[in-house]
Amino acid sequence: MAINFDQVGFTYQPNTPFATPGLHDVSFEIPEGKFTAVIGHTGSGKSTMVQHLDGLVLPTTGKVTMGDQVVTAETKLKELNEMRAHIGLVFQFPEAQLFEQTVLKDVMFGPKNFGASEEDAQAAAEAALKKVAISPDLYERSPFELSGGQMRRVAIAGVIAMEPDLLILDEPTAGLDPQGQRELMTLFTDLQKERHITVVLITHQMEYVAQYADHVVVFEHGTVVKSGSPTTIFADEEWLHEKQLDVPAAKQFADALAEKGIQLHNVLDIDQLADQLAARLNGEVDHV
Amino acid sequence: MFSNMIIGRYMPGDSWIHRLDARTKLVLSIAFIFVVFFANNVIGYALAGAFTLLAIMMTGLGVGVFLRGLRPLVLLMFITTLLQLFFVQTGDVLVHWAFIKITTDGVINSVIVFVRFMLIIMFSTILTLTTQPLAVADGMESLLKPFKKFGLPVSELALMLSIALRFVPTLMDEAQSIMNAQRARGVRFNEGSLMARIKSFVPLLIPLFVNAIKRAIELGDAMEARGYRGGDQRTKYRVLTWHTRDTIAIIGFLIFTVALIATRWMM
């Protein structure tokens, strides 16, 4: 599902004394079947944009095109419900949305709402729970008995079980331990490669952007200020600092090396850094 | 869905009314509800209306804000007014058509009910719009202090009130985000039959309660860790101070009350 924002503007509580601008003049594209990262300082409008992707809010001005569906201020609720069946949205701290008596029932909830039969929903739920590494003996437990990390994974399984074409992740790893973070990110990238789905990740961690993203969108003050490949985005460190963002640690290290006279090219993640340093140690010095 | 509620919200400002002591505003708001009932003729209601309007103008927020605040209550006001109109059967009959009988007393009563409603809501909205919730809680505590002698746990009540007020916006945000998450999973709020609508709120209410309990446990732990041991022998950070303007407000209100009672003998 390719997504296109065309001059989208959004105001919270319009026509009241509490009206606050959320987005203005937002135009950008999310390529189909790719991993897109959305970055920006806190309060820059990223999460407001995410709500547009699932039709949870409608743009005040402009339009959002998602596959064949065009969403404008006049779009009807019914069309949005149909659209939502193809979109998986993992909010920040998704464990707060669990409510059913058992883990399995909670994961089946999404598919059933979008019309899956009891058997299909259960099959989808079991497949999703397997993906997030929740063992079958937890299926009949109450979600409230689980640990925080397990609850997070059950909540994410509930979204994956809907088998979405578009998966939106709003800081899915916030507050998890390093291993849990790695496991989840691997799960998302595997899912994207396996099913060729479009993934949109909102994150503050530049390491993820460097490592996983094909495309990056930068938000500032409620609008998109730049979009492109991670290499183009991270090329201008000064500019990123202005936007209160940073380059990944591997690039910082490579830049520090460059100051000492060791020039490397295109280093964004730790693997690229290691490869180039290894090549250099083996005597393959490229001429700068 | 909660965004258009004006009632109970604080609007920052720096008017004379904003700077009044919360206790003054609390007492006057409650007193006004009783005083309004002294009005029994057009002059009395005109006086009460003028006094309310004056107070509203002095907040510097504009009458429009207050009128918008009435919007959620319009239906309630409308129904009570109609009930008065159709069910008061005394006085001269004005219209008599089939089973509908409208009488002069009915018309007068419904107008009175409507005007009283308007005045009381408008006047109490002044308190909430111009006073920070925590100041209201402090004011309540200070006013309830005399009842401590009768065994009323005043500081506990005040603590509960200020915590409750503090968490209203937090819980509202949380409700909104859980609602969004469940809508993304295919829940349709406010759609379908009554039963379907009631059922659709289960996935909202259960997480909301569970999270509220979790939050309460965490808050309790955090309070204990910071040395909270109960209400007595605590000192206060926010101290309420009485100013000349509070005395002026009280005197102004007393003059209004006397004038309003006086209008009873004017017609």
User: Do the chains contact at B178 and A96, CB–CB below 8 Å?
Assistant: yes
pLDDT band of B214, cuts 50, 70, 90: very high
Q: Structure pTM?
A: 0.79
- Taking the C-alpha atoms of residue A128 and residue B75, their distance in angstroms, rounded to an integer, is 48
**What is the mean pLDDT of the segment spanning B154-182?**
88
Q: What is the pLDDT of residues B93-129, one digit of tens each?
A: 777 777 777 888 888 888 888 999 889 888 888 888 8
Instruction: State percent of chain B over pLDDT 70.
Output: 95
User: Do the chains contact at B181 and A97, CB–CB below 8 Å?
Assistant: yes
Q: What is the pLDDT of residues A55-65, one digit of tens each?
A: 898 999 999 99
**What is the mean pLDDT of the segment spanning A242-257?**
88
Q: What is the pLDDT of residue B47?
A: 92
* pLDDT exceeds cutoff 60 at A87: yes
Range among A39-43, A127-131, B231-235 with highest mean pLDDT value:
A127-131
- Taking the C-alpha atoms of residue A11 and residue A23, their distance in angstroms, rounded to an integer, is 7
Q: What is the pLDDT of residue A262?
A: 83
Q: Pick B202's closest partner by Cβ from A77, A99, A110.
A: A99
A87: closest chain B residue by CA? B184
* pLDDT exceeds cutoff 50 at B2: no
Within 8 A of A112 by CB-CB distance, chain B residues are 186
Q: What is the pLDDT of residue A261?
A: 84
- Taking the C-alpha atoms of residue A140 and residue A73, their distance in angstroms, rounded to an integer, is 43
Contact A6, A65 (CB under 8 A): yes
Rounded to the nearest angstrom, the minimum Cα separation between A272 and chain B is 37
Q: Pick A99's closest partner by Cβ from B174, B191, B207.
A: B207
User: Do the chains contact at A17 and B202, CB–CB below 8 Å?
Assistant: no
Within 8 A of B187 by CB-CB distance, chain A residues are 113
Q: What is the pLDDT of residues A108-167, one digit of tens each?
A: 999 999 989 999 999 999 999 999 999 999 999 999 999 988 999 999 999 999 999 999
Rounded to the nearest angstrom, the minimum Cα separation between B175 and chain A is 10
- Give the 3-state secondary structure percentages of chain B, helix then strand then coil, rounded to 5: 70, 5, 25
Closest by Cα among A132, A181, A139, A185 to A155: A132
How many C-beta atoms surround the C-beta of residue B189 within 10 A?
14
Q: What is the pLDDT of residues B35-46, one digit of tens each?
A: 998 888 888 999
Instruction: State percent of chain A over pLDDT 70.
Output: 98
**What is the mean pLDDT of the segment spanning A14-41?**
88
- The mean pLDDT value of chain B amounts to 86
Rounded to the nearest angstrom, the minimum Cα separation between A91 and chain B is 7
Using the Cβ of B188 and the Cβ atoms of chain A, whether some distance falls under 8 Å is answered with yes
Amino acid at B165: L
Rounded to the nearest angstrom, the minimum Cα separation between A82 and chain B is 9
Using the Cβ of B168 and the Cβ atoms of chain A, whether some distance falls under 8 Å is answered with no
**What is the mean pLDDT of the segment spanning B229-239?**
79
